């Protein structure tokens, strides 16, 4: 059997560990042959391929990024995109495809699967907002990086008695903000799921100074004030219709400074959260996803995605995985009220 593999969307620490798991078990246990498709859906769309075998996955386990490259190419937005993808899979005599990606990449996989293309999905997003899986790899690494940043910001905030705002990733879901904010002992955590009250944020900031500490405010890039809109880096949309976020941290620091009279600065963590070596947990989870994905192909379980449920890796329909995103429950967010201010 000949299997194609691609990685699409924003990259994520652990992608190489998934590819390694797929190839090692596919070759050594099932006797399969692999071809890598370059840069997400651009590979099958344009017939851009790269060799993929055991030699290509040697030494990649601790490396961030993806050896196959990634992009946000959307075949559904290209004239006859799906037809071209099918034609290129046939031209390269690919019997099955493993697509590693988030809601966008797997949304295309679901459409192809409905048209009879044999596909298995692997969930990927540092935002951890994919429905149907408890965790995605890359999230733990991002949380660790953000937590370390918050730890470091505490000491300099204290020295200068400043408000330090930390902007983290999280377009629709505040998982990175909530986990890193709690782990790092932040005094305010703002997430996309709940519009925030600026007066309340300023009250928490002032309370923190009153008890002689300097406040750390963690804000997800997709968070919004009660009155106001998303703050955008620019309004151009990618092939999946997403605008570029970032800027809420600067906006918030400015508003806090004006309203409280306390000096406020911003740190935007940006792609530092996505780059570099994956955590041990992410290597473990990504490896398991890779092993289970190639087994799903072996079993002919097409149209499914591997997912973590508790400590088990299970198979769920691709359509279930992409039907809606997983957001922070208000009750979970409320658990941490005691730490605000």
Residue 10 in the binding site for ligand F6P (CB under 6 A): yes
Between 40 and 215, CB nearer to ligand F6P = 40
Tokens of 216: 């750390």
Catalytic residue among 39, 104, 127, 282: 127
Q: What is the DSSP annotation of 294-322?
A: HHHHHTT-TTEEEEEETTEEEEEEHHHHH
Residue 127 in the binding site for ligand F6P (CB under 6 A): yes
Nearest CA-CA partner of 188 in 160, 155, 159, 225: 225
Name the segment binding ligand F6P (CB under 6 A); options: 53-61, 113-121, 169-177, 258-266: 169-177
- Of 17, 126, 153, 216, the one binding ligand F6P (CB under 6 A) is 126
Shortest distance in whole angstroms from residue 99 CB to ligand F6P: 16
Instruction: Return d(Cα 26, Cα 28) in angstroms, integer.
Output: 6
* Binders in 96-115 for ligand F6P, by CB under 6 A: 102
Shortest distance in whole angstroms from residue 28 CB to ligand F6P: 32
Shortest distance in whole angstroms from residue 306 CB to ligand F6P: 19
Residue 245 in the binding site for ligand F6P (CB under 6 A): yes
- The residue to which tokens 């937590």 are assigned: 147
Other C-beta atoms within 10 Å of 164: how many? 26
Longest dimension (CA), the chain: 69
- CB under 8 Å to 279, separation ≥6 — which residues? 13, 140, 141, 144
Residue 171 in the binding site for ligand F6P (CB under 6 A): yes
| x/- letters, 258..277, toward ligand F6P (CB under 6 A) | ----------------x---
Position with the least CB separation from ligand F6P = 169
Name the segment binding ligand F6P (CB under 6 A); options: 163-171, 277-285, 301-309, 330-338: 163-171
Q: What is the DSSP annotation of 252-294?
A: HHHHHHHHH---EEEEE-GGGGTSSPPPHHHHHHHHHHHHHHH
Q: What is the DSSP annotation of 184-204?
A: TT-SEEE-TTS-B-HHHHHHH
Look up 39 and say whether it is catalytic. Answer: no
Catalytic residues: 127
Binding site for ligand F6P (CB under 6 A): 10, 102, 125-127, 169-171, 221, 245, 274
């Amino acid at each position: 059997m000949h299997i194609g593999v691609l990685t699409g969307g924003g990259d994520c620490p652990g992608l190489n560990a998934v590819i390694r798991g797929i190839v090692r078990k596919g070759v050594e246990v099932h006797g399969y042959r692999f071809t890598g498709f370059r840069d997400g859906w651009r590979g099958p769309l344009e017939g851009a391929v790269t060799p993929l075998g055991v030699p290509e996955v040697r030494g990649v386990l601790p490396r961030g990024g993806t050896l196959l490259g990634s992009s946000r190419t959307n075949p559904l937005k290209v004239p006859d995109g799906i037809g071209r993808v099918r034609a290129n899979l046939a031209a390269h005599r690919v019997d099955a495809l493993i697509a590693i990606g988030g809601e966008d990449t797997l949304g295309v996989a679901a459409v192809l699967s409905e048209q009879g293309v044999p596909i298995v999905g692997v969930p990927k997003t540092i935002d951890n907002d994919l429905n149907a899986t408890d965790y995605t790899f890359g999230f733990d690494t991002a949380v660790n990086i953000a937590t370390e940043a918050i730890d470091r910001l505490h000491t300099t905030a204290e020295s200068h008695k400043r408000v330090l705002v930390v902007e983290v990733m999280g377009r629709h879901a505040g998982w990175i903000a909530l986990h890193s904010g709690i782990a790092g002992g932040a005094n305010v955590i703002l997430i996309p799921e709940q519009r925030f009250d600026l007066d309340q944020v300023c009250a928490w900031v002032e309370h923190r100074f009153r008890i002689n500490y300097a406040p750390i405010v963690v804000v997800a890039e997709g968070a919004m004030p009660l009155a106001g809109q998303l703050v955008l880096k620019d309004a151009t949309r990618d092939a999946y219709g997403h605008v570029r976020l970032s800027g809420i941290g600067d906006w918030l620091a400015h508003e806090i400074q004006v309203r409280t009279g306390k000096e406020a600065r911003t740190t935007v963590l940006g792609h530092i959260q996505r780059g570099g070596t994956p955590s041990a947990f992410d290597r473990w989870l990504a490896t398991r996803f890779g092993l289970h994905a190639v087994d799903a192909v072996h079993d002919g379980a097409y149209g499914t995605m591997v997912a973590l449920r508790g400590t088990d890796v299970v198979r769920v329909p691709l359509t279930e995985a992409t039907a809606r995103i997983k957001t922070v429950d208000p009750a979970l967010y409320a658990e941490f009220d005691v730490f605000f201010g």
